[in-house]
Amino acid sequence: MSAPTDLGRADVAIIGGGLMGCATAYYLAKGGVDVALIDRTEINREASGANAGSLHLQVYIHPHFPDDWIDRIRPTIVLMREAAKGWATIEAELDADCGVRLGGGVWVAESPEEMALIEKKVAAERAGGVMSEIVMSNELRSIAPYLGEHVIGGSFFKGEGFANPLLVAPAHARAAKRYGARFFTNAPVTGITRESSGGFSISTGRAVFRASRVVAAAGAWTAELGRMVGLRLPVEGHAIQVQVTDGRPLVMLDHLLQHVGLGLTLKQSPNGTFILGGGWPAYYDRQQQRNTPLQNSMMGNAWVAARTVPAVGEAQLVRAWGGVGSGTPDGRPILGESSQVKGFYVCYAPLGFTMGPICGRILAEHFLTGEATVPLAPFTPDRFLEQAS
């Protein structure tokens, strides 16, 4: 049998061409690291390019979450604070239009029970340096006069907003290439093997790639990469859907709007279209590896949007598509090197679009200096070792 074709070599191989992987490639290459990125199709084809573009810089909370949810994700609030700073300067950093609009973020509630959740959320955020604020009915409507009569109050954060998911990851990829990063697409990873001389051999659909270190940045597919090296990384993916309306003559909503109880993210683009999301389930066809919207989700999501912002009820839905969401049991990112497989790093976050740039940056900082702006200890992949034993 002939030896496998050698696709290439690098000091660091990043597996995954979404925003997380492209951001990590950029920051590592900018720091002088020999880096290559490998993706099974093309960059930005999965969750990073198919999401609703929300920048979730307030804590994501819902009535069905566990009672200790805020405590679980408290370390992530510091990370969210740094993410907010990064999104404010990202277009200048990359010298690129990323469609960033930071008009602020509004969370709304319709009942005292929902307001109690928002109050708990805001208290935790402010303790972590995310300076959101409670706003009740009259004050809230001065900020967001488009809201429906059912809304009784909510919270507001000036730094929140949204960006264009079709632009952000490609902008990081272009910037990474300017610093010498190489990209290998249409190369699905089928296996990762430790070499006796050190480093890793990465088998792909095209050939074998060799690297001294590996970064798993594959979003919902992170668990699969972990299994290839014998690690348990409990990342669970799920299909979700997004939909968009026709353009309205008046751009009235400059915020990221979220509903604490009914599952809604709502934004309005510069051309007047409304973008509806909120984690509503889609259908995942395993054989075709394709996500498609569900009619019930489309109708439910549209009903919540029109109830919360009556003007949405006057718009026509024109398109819907399926995307990918994912999460961990404790709601935290997974960042850093495994002590069990030295040289194997993980760069994953449940809110990968929001957290992609900051996670890539702090992981690169750790590579380059051994320290990071936000300590990686609360996010280490080793926290799952005790659970697996």
Q: What is the DSSP string of 273-290?
A: -EEEESS-B-EEETTTTE
Q: Could you tell me the CA-to-CA distances from 178 to 11, 25, 244, 353, 385 in Å, in that order?
A: 18, 11, 34, 22, 38
Considering the domain architecture, whether residues 302 and 345 belong to the same structural domain is answered as: no
Considering the domain architecture, whether residues 271 and 365 belong to the same structural domain is answered as: no
Considering the domain architecture, whether residues 153 and 206 belong to the same structural domain is answered as: no
Whether pTM > 0.85 for this model: the answer is yes
For the segment 140-199, what is each residue's pLDDT rounded down to a tens digit? 999 999 999 999 999 999 989 999 999 999 999 999 999 999 999 999 999 999 998 889
Residue after which a domain boundary falls, among 302, 327, 352: 327
Residue 360 lies in a domain: yes
Q: Which band of pLDDT confidence, cut at 50, 70 and 90, is reported for residue 291? A: confident
Considering the domain architecture, whether residues 147 and 69 belong to the same structural domain is answered as: yes
Considering the domain architecture, whether residues 339 and 307 belong to the same structural domain is answered as: no
Domain region containing 96: 61-161+236-327
Considering the domain architecture, whether residues 335 and 322 belong to the same structural domain is answered as: no
Distance from C-alpha of 164 to C-alpha of 170, rounded to nearest angstrom: 11
Residue after which a domain boundary falls, among 276, 295, 327: 327
Considering the domain architecture, whether residues 10 and 71 belong to the same structural domain is answered as: no
Considering the domain architecture, whether residues 157 and 279 belong to the same structural domain is answered as: yes
Buried/exposed code over 162-182 (b: 16+ C-beta within 10 A; e: otherwise):
bbebebbbbbbbebbbebebb
- Number of domains within the chain: 2
Distance from C-alpha of 218 to C-alpha of 47, rounded to nearest angstrom: 10
Helices (H), the chain: 19-30, 47-50, 69-94, 112-127, 137-143, 168-178, 222-228, 295-308, 352-369, 385-388
Residue 1 lies in a domain: no
Residue after which a domain boundary falls, among 327, 342, 369: 327
Q: Which band of pLDDT confidence, cut at 50, 70 and 90, is reported for residue 386? A: low
Task: Judge whether 343 and 199 are in contact, CB under 8 Å.
Answer: yes
**Which CATH number goes with the domain that contains 43?**
3.50.50.60
What would the mean pLDDT of 274-283 be, rounded to a whole number?
Answer: 93
Residue 55 lies in a domain: no
For the segment 80-96, what is each residue's pLDDT rounded down to a tens digit? 999 999 999 999 999 99
Considering the domain architecture, whether residues 358 and 279 belong to the same structural domain is answered as: no
> What contacts 272, CB < 8 A, 6 or more positions away?
247, 248, 249, 250, 251
Considering the domain architecture, whether residues 342 and 231 belong to the same structural domain is answered as: yes
Distance from C-alpha of 128 to C-alpha of 75, rounded to nearest angstrom: 8
